A = this chain, B = another copy of it.
Amino acid sequence: MSPSSPSTPSPGPLSLEQQICYAMHTTVRAFDAVYRELLAEHGLSYPQYIALMGIAEHGPLTVSRLGELMRLDSGTLSPLLKRMEAAGLVGRTRDPEDERRVLVSATSTGHERIAALRELPQQIAARSGLSREQMLALHETLRTVTDRLDAHS
């Protein structure tokens, strides 16, 4: 009987290389390295780049709203935003409407930094070697997976 037969769903312990978590882990490491390289000269880390993009695009927003966007909590965002504030990229002010909230917005320096990175997505796309169709397919698959994983919890 073939090991891929439908009647043998678990043909022994799955090898590491066959597991999706391993593939994801490996790909993320590779992406990380490339972003690190391309962002270094702009003084941004990969999470900072995503945060700055989100802040610049979605206007002044609260820490928890940014947290929903990035799937990160205040334990991660608070120190990250303080570092970005110290770097002059974002401003943080208490919301006068509700002093519990902190509104984060991009400074002009922050906007300039994002503008200077206008070409980054294309650079990454080029390095990834995926066609536009493959890129869209991957994007769609990632969105589907994320939604499904979320649905369970």
Q: What residue of chain B has the Cβ atom nearest to residue A32's Cβ?
A: B71
Decide if A16 is an interface residue (CB 8 Å cutoff). Answer: yes
For A21, what are the chain B residues with a Cβ–Cβ distance below 8 Å?
31, 35, 46, 49-50, 121, 124
Known contacts A10-B122, A20-B135, A138-B138; 19 further A-B pairs (Cβ under 8 A):
A9-B122, A13-B114, A20-B121, A20-B124, A21-B46, A23-B139, A23-B142, A27-B145, A27-B149, A28-B28, A30-B150, A31-B149, A34-B149, A34-B152, A34-B153, A37-B153, A127-B148, A128-B148, A134-B141
Measured CA separation A151–B33 after assembly (Å): 12
Decide if A143 is an interface residue (CB 8 Å cutoff). Answer: yes
24 A–B pairs (Cβ distance < 8 Å), ordered by A: A10-B118, A13-B114, A18-B121, A20-B121, A20-B138, A21-B35, A21-B50, A21-B124, A24-B28, A25-B47, A25-B50, A25-B71, A27-B149, A29-B71, A30-B71, A31-B149, A33-B149, A34-B149, A127-B149, A127-B152, A128-B148, A134-B141, A137-B137, A138-B145
**Top 6 A-B pairs ranked by shortest CB distance?**
A129-B148, A29-B71, A30-B149, A23-B142, A16-B53, A27-B142
Decide if A78 is an interface residue (CB 8 Å cutoff). Answer: no
